[in-house]
Amino acid sequence: MTNITKGLEGIVALETKISFIDGEKGILEYRGINIELLAEQSFDIVAYLLLHGEIPSMEDAHRFSKLLKTKRDIDAKTKSVLNLCNFNIEAMDALRTAVSHMSHCDPDLNDNSLDANLRKATRLIAKFPTIVAGFQRVREQKKLIEPDSELTHAGNFLYMLRGEKPNDVETRIMNADFVLSAEHELNASTFSTRVTVSTISDLHSAIISGLGTLKGPIHGGARLAVMNMISEIGTADKTEEYILHLIKNKQKIMGFGHRVYRTMDPRAKIFKKMAKELAEDNGDMNWYQIGEIMEEVITREIVVKKGKPIYPNVDFYAGIIYKYLNFPPKLATAIFAIGRISGWLAHCLEQYADNRLIRPRAKYIGEHNKRV
């Protein structure tokens, strides 16, 4: 009980077959497949891979996609829950509340078998985009848009959010965002879901744990912070002065640095290319140029001069993409969750399959033998 590792940094808590990270080389794999290859696949295929452990056959892929499409709708009571939410909250808060409500109505609520959990998992993956888009529509006092079964998981989300069908570039990039957000080993929110199911609690409770953890500004909430920071900078010519001020005052720069990676996050490399593509498609390079200048200044001032491996992480260029897609900042973390839920669910199923209660110890540093 003498060795304490603050934040459990570097501690190996369990074994997994779901994803692999090499932080020194900047490698991320889902089920043994490099993220660069998976970023070009449909989210449905990647979700199936995470849940079932293998790339589906064409027949299984078609069946799974069709099943997801049939489960997208949310019932009238869940829509009412969205209407009761405080509209000044983050969408994450509404999503958490909606998931809690849906658990009461789930036909498999008290069935913890693998088949029942796979059914619950499919419903949750399918309904997350509908809840997030629905809350934003309610917040804007607009009519909710019903899911379109002709559209992909990503295209349908953008359609339900905006009320008009997205173009091919936006759909492809939104799909890649969901894929790149889907899984990342034992991050804080994934660990929280595994702790929850290790008590043999239900799947909905675990997802609520994940949502609450992802919301934090130094985890999934960093995308919201990046969007706000980019807006505060405003124009590319003001970027260097802004970043130098943060560095001088030793303030945290959101979207940079990672507990695991000692080089650029492999997901950030892909997001950067997509951010440039969106900028060019929009005919406005400003947000992208701010990002490039930030990266250059931080590399020069921190990586080169101080020798610290502070590189863009997954949230940085994702936040810039969200700016180009015109997402409200309070929607950012919930959109991250639309992708990440598939990884959470895969970890929950893996934990259930070979469970041991996750119960670490703490070193007591208080007083002893005090009198009342």
Q: Which residues are catalytic?
A: 219, 258, 315
**DSSP SS3 for 19:** strand
List Cα–Cα distances, 259 to 150, 214, 215, 265, 338, in angstroms.
40, 15, 17, 11, 23
Residues 27-66, buried b or exposed e (16+ Cβ, 10 A)? ebbbbebebeebbebbbbbbbbbbbeeeebeeeebeebbe
SS3 content of the chain, % helix, strand, coil (to 5): 60, 5, 35
Write out the two tokens for 240: 């260097």
- Considering just the CA atoms, what is the radius of gyration of the chain in Å? 21
Distance of alpha carbon 116 from its chain centroid, rounded?
24
Write out the two tokens for 59: 């027949």
Instruction: Give dist(CA 263, CA 23) in Å, integer.
Output: 7
Distance of alpha carbon 43 from its chain centroid, rounded?
13
The CA-to-CA distance between both ends of the chain, in Å, stands at: 28
Of 281, 257, 25, residue with least CA distance to 167:
281
DSSP 63-98: HHHHHHHHT----HHHHHHHHHS-TTS-HHHHHHHH
